[in-house]
Amino acid sequence: MISRAAALAAMMFLASPLSAAPETAPGASLRPVARALIEAPQPASVTVTATGALERPKARPAPLGTTLGDPDPPAGAPALGHGPAPRDIALRTAFAARSPQAIPRSLRPSPRSPAIVEQALAVRRERARGAVCGDPDLQGSIIGAVPGRISGCGIDEAIKLRTVSGVALSTRATIDCPTARALKTWVERALKPAVGSTGGGVSGLRIAGSYACRSRNNQPGAKISEHARGRAIDIAAIRLNDGSEISVLKDWGRSTEGRILRKLHSGACGPFGTVLGPESDPFHKDHLHFDTARYRSGSYCR
């Protein structure tokens, strides 16, 4: 038997709008009205196609010179390449200036051409062929023992020196190897720095004397000169690339040239044991005398 409450609920349901006939109800739910397309300003890197769809931004091109084989750069650092691309250099410089922790990568040098390599090897072979005293910077020829006419003269192992560190000698100097090495030290540490760019730089030395079997200053009864042992060389002038020269005889007391000559004189004290110039005696007014004689008190320089 149906209860009174259940019967009352059934009567209320039949009286409600939900119980209307099916033909009065909609056959399907209504679709929402499409919204009108509203164009919004797009970023410069985003484009809209003709169909209204948004295109994905394209990947930025890699910097010039970048290769896929490069390791990943530090965070925030520009990609670097192998070749010497100008853009690589600019990016690296900008990043290094922006970040003190940036570690720059050096560019790999381009391989040398076979012609350049062969030219360098040819120069090396030529230098080795003309090297004396075991030093390619000393170019000349080996002449061996030079006997002396009188007691005290002669050289056990003599050379004829042609150039010293690229500086040509006006005449080949017959000396021994210790003297040649001292001359090289003087050329590199005193001559080239003192002359500098004056007259386009040093081109050569005008040699006034080297080996000679004689007494000091050619004076009768004097001791044997260091020239007679192959340990001395006399320099009369410095030749320059513009064709001019700095002469000991003419330029010793002059301003610019005189200062250069005094530097050359003082710069020889140390490499050489004896250094004599125009102010030492009348015999050396026209040249600088250098020899490798050694004294207990040190170099003798006047």
Instruction: Work out whether the CA dihedral 281, 282, 285, 290 comes out positive or negative.
Output: negative
Q: Which two tokens stand for residue 40?
A: 């919004």
β-pairing, 300-301 vs 232-240, is: unpaired
pLDDT by residue (tens digit) across 18-74?
444 445 555 556 666 666 555 555 554 455 555 555 566 665 555 544 444 444 555
Whole-number pLDDT of residue 291: 97
pLDDT by residue (tens digit) across 94-148?
766 666 555 555 567 778 888 888 888 877 776 677 899 999 999 999 999 999 8
Q: Which two tokens stand for residue 84?
A: 């010497």
Whole-number pLDDT of residue 216: 94
**Distance (Å) of CA 193 to CA 28, 109, 154:** 103, 31, 34
Integer Cα distance of 251 and 220 in angstroms: 31
Whole-number pLDDT of residue 58: 63
Point out the least confidently predicted range of 90-94, 155-159, 273-277. 90-94
Integer Cα distance of 286 and 261 in angstroms: 12
Domain limits, the chain: 123-301
Q: Any idea what the Cα angle at residue 127 is, between residues 121 and 132, rounded to 5°?
A: 150
β-pairing, 245-247 vs 232-240, is: antiparallel
Whole-number pLDDT of residue 65: 47
Chain-centroid distance, C-alpha 122: 23
Which residues partner with 238 through β-bridges?
A: 205, 246
For residues 196 and 259, the answer to whether their CB atoms sit within 8 Å is no
